[in-house]
Amino acid sequence: MSTSPPRTTRRGQDGPPLLVPAASFAGLTIAGAVIGGSGPRPDSTPDAVLAYATANPTTAALGAVLLFGSAFPLVVYAATAVTRYRRLGVTAPGPLMGFAGAVMAAVAIVLSALFAWTSVQVAGLGDSAIAKLLSQLWFATGAFGFAAPIGLLVLGLAVPAVLLRFLPAWLAWAGTVIGVLAVLSTFGILTSALYPLIPIGRFGAVLFLLAVAVLLPRTVRDARRPAVS
């Protein structure tokens, strides 16, 4: 009588289809950005920040929930993509560095969401200085703290695709550019002139991850097809 373990299919170990966490992350990110679009800016006065938190508690809390929720599909996406890259023969550390970037980005947006939620809870104290402090922490973690690490994820997926050519060249190179710009948004800490790099990195990464979810081959055989070279 055979005692060998039952066979399992390789495809069953790939994790969920990449499009599922990619679409979830994109939807939550865009919805959160739309809802938070009317919120305070880094240069808003303390009184303006307090007035917004006091007048819009439900909107601010909903934005925090969406932001918090977007962290989970991001990590699922990164873990699944790294597994797929390994299946495609990528042994370089790039995808693992990308996964580390995804975890850092997820932690940053969780913190950003918690700062936003806390700002709503303490608005009743009427302290504009506390409101401004929480607003700055919300922005810092959700802007620099998120854009730069997700740039590392994008680079970790784009650069191997450039070298091994299992994604369309235009997508791999676009991802490389988006990843570099996102990482450079780190220097927005020094000057607001670089603030435009933050949405480029944030929403450029969303588009890149969606495109990868659709076009990334599942097997080495698929990767060798001329259509994705």
Residue 27, amino acid = G
* pTM (predicted TM-score): 0.85
pLDDT computed for residue 9 by the predictor: 44
End-to-end CA distance of the chain: 47
pLDDT computed for residue 210 by the predictor: 96
CA 68-22-107 angle, 5° bins: 30
Q: Residue 157, Cβ neighbours under 10 Å: how many?
A: 32
Cβ(162)–Cβ(185) under 8 Å?
Answer: no
Q: At 45, is the secondary structure helix, strand, or coil?
A: coil
Query: How does pLDDT run across 43-90, given as a tens digit for each residue?
Result: 888 998 899 888 888 988 999 999 999 999 999 999 999 999 988 888
- Which of 135, 92, 96 lies closest to 112 in space, CA to CA? 135
- Which of 147, 139, 138 lies closest to 184 in space, CA to CA? 147
For the four alpha carbons of 44, 146, 32 and 56, in that order, the dihedral sign comes to: negative
Distances 167 to 36, 120, 159, 204 between C-alpha atoms, Å:
34, 44, 10, 17
